Structure 1
Amino acid sequence: MAWDIAALILFPPGFDASKRYPAVVSVHPFGSCKEQTSSAVYGRRLAEAGYVVIAYDASYQGDSGGAPRWIENPTQRVEDISHVIDHAVTLPYVDAGRIGVLGICGGGGYALNATLTEKRIKAVVGITPVNIGRLFREGFSGYDPIGALDAMAAQRTHEARGGAHQINELLPASPEAATASGMIERDVWEATDYYKTPRGQQPGGWTRMLFSRAQSTLAWDAFSFVESLMTQPMMVVIGQNVGAFGAYRDGMEAYGRSTASKDRQLVSLEGWSHYDLYDKDEPVGLAMQRILPFLGKHL
């Protein structure tokens, strides 16, 4: 079965279709969509700097195809990146030898993982990257991955027999609801402030997950074989204000283990958090001050 991947293509100022440009594939976070930080923040700034940017919706999510909806499958998420590159290399205005990938949050973990085997990627940037497999085995399963897998198995059997899908909402309905329920941990509250208010809310950014189809996520690891296979230049950008989703820890791990990279760089921003790096002008600006020279050197 095949389906379409929906994407936004952002062009540099004064774009000339007869010329060839470096391109960046921009990968949205877990529970997000192409209209949020991947295009509106990082995609826009990269396009302004001279890149063709392709920000797309993951399979089963946003405006992309795939059923049932709201599956978060890491293998498919990584494969999506290769499919987007397949399209990019057919565009006459894209230089196929100068393609990079940038991903945010879970998209950062997927971008790093894709780079291990997708050697058409010439440089990769992980913005506050999260290893979704690690997060599911730990906090998202209540530190009981076997219990979670048993529950997923039972739910999938229920659905196979005609029962209703279990769609998990990942966040409280509003910052006020988060506060009222005591969910004031930094990442949970700040995620709610981004995804459930006009600050970042978009129709395609559902922050939902089909529970029964998440089994493979618990057995997936973004950084398997990174020591030997991460040969391309890589950059990790993290905020030092640590939250429960673990981007600081994951970013440090990805950087520390990428010893085969031709140019590995760590950008650690004091005083900023995971969700500050989604859209706040100062931390995003600080990140771009390092990202643009890095990509300019390698693309």
Structure 2
Amino acid sequence: MQRRNAVKLSGAAVLALAAGKVLPVLPAKAQTMSNLWDKTFPQSTRVDHQKLRFPNRYGITLSGDLYLPRDRAGEPLAAIVVCGPFGAVKEQASGLYAQIMAERGFVTLAFDPSFTGESGGEPRNLASPDINTEDFSAAVDAVGLLPFVDRERIGMIGICGWGGMALNAAAADKRVRAVAASTMYDMGRVMSKGYNDSVTPEQRRQTLEQLGRQRWEDAQRGAPAHGPVSLELKGGEPQFVVDYAEYYKTQRGFHPRAINSNASWTLTTPLSFMNMPLLSYIQDISPRPMLLIHGEKAHSRYFSETAYAAAAQPKELLIVPGASHTDLYDQVDVIPFDTLEAFFRRHLA
């Protein structure tokens, strides 16, 4: 397995999960979209690429990259919508997954969630379990309207934090015929309970009180506060945080529009997640199939294992030997694309 050497960084702070706002939402137009190839991966000669804008149910305009197999025939194709990781943009892991799946014969759409990247929504750098789940269904709307897509053959791939959102969307959106989640995070669970469910009820209460006071401060100032710039390391951080930095803060995966590369979430983002268990209805994905992929050595592996245990059949759990959480962002010799292709070919037939 080919691995990249770790890069030692200096700086300050771990990922600040965040965002929220008590003030009225501003017009939610898309940001200016770049027509340049500004991805963190090389452009494929086997795929056609174009930009796509589409609205979600809340009136926010989303921006995506549409990937089409260059050798496609005249018949409508199966499509897959892709998003994630949490704090990333479509020019990073989701675009890589989308392009490779397009090389394998699918129409794919990698998109920026609301409030991030080239998508619309104010304030910026905000996440919402409700709106971001809706973003996945809006992407299904968008590909289902394309004349070269068979709208009865649409699947989803969610990566990291958007893996949990994809499972939540698929549970409610019966148009989704198959869903896969790679290196999945359940963001409601981790924000509410901490890693490995280590947060006590008293700690949760204190966090909610702190976030409530932050809302007063944001309301008085007229704008939400943000945390420190993400992933600037001081030393002594857990290995998984170092792994995040090695992806987001180096040439390997840095992108100027990515929150985890160049910015931070607003401080009140955890509020809506803390009362929103995303996977409460995971059994409702059945009888449609679900595939969970996780690294053997990933700190987050337990999210996929407990989701798998809670889900109904048909379901698959693939543990990738030796892989860390971030290996499944971009290590093409580690990500099981053959398994993903076989899964979607079988269930989007």
TM-score (norm 2): 0.77
1:142, distance to aligned residue in structure 2 (A)? 8.1
Given that 2:230 and 2:259 are in contact with CA atoms closer than 8 Å, whether structure 1 keeps it comes out as no
Match of 1:182 among 233, 236, 239: 236
Q: Is 2:215 the partner of 1:161? A: no
1:278, distance to aligned residue in structure 2 (A)? 0.7
Deviations 1:239-260 (A, max 9, x none): 11032xx2x101011111112x
Deviations 1:1-58 (A, max 9, x none): 6221010001112245x43111000011111111100012x11110000011100000
Match of 2:258 among 196, 202, 205: 205
CA distance in 2 between counterparts of 1:152 and 1:125 reads: 33
1:231, distance to aligned residue in structure 2 (A)? 2.8
CA distance in 2 between counterparts of 1:200 and 1:108 reads: 19
Counterpart code for 1:280: Q
Given that 2:126 and 2:266 are in contact with CA atoms closer than 8 Å, whether structure 1 keeps it comes out as yes
Counterpart code for 1:118: D
Q: Is 2:77 the partner of 1:21? A: yes
1:138, distance to aligned residue in structure 2 (A)? 3.0
Deviations 1:165-222 (A, max 9, x none): 321247322xxxx2x4311x12111011101111001122112211124311111222
Counterpart code for 2:175: R
CA distance in 1 between counterparts of 2:268 and 2:278 reads: 21
Q: Which aligned segments of 4 or more residues in structure 1 are displaced greater than 4 angstroms?
A: none
Match of 1:70 among 121, 125, 131: 125
CA distance in 1 between counterparts of 2:106 and 2:228 reads: 35
SS in 1 for 2:167: helix
Which position in structure 1 is the counterpart of 2:109?
A: 54
CA distance in 1 between counterparts of 2:227 and 2:287 reads: 37
Which position in structure 2 is the counterpart of 1:192?
A: 245
Deviations 1:82-106 (A, max 9, x none): 1111111111011100000001100
Identity of aligned residues (%): 31
Q: Is 2:100 the partner of 1:45? A: yes
- Aligned-residue Cα RMSD (Å) equals 1.8
Which position in structure 1 is the counterpart of 2:337?
A: 288
Counterpart code for 1:279: D
CA distance in 1 between counterparts of 2:285 and 2:204 reads: 28
Which position in structure 2 is the counterpart of 1:171?
A: 230
Counterpart code for 2:204: P
The size of the alignment, in residue pairs, is: 284
Task: Name stretches of at least 5 consecutive residues in structure 1 with no aligned partner.
Answer: none
Alpha-carbon distance change, 157 to 74 in structure 1, aligned in 2, over 3 angstroms:
same
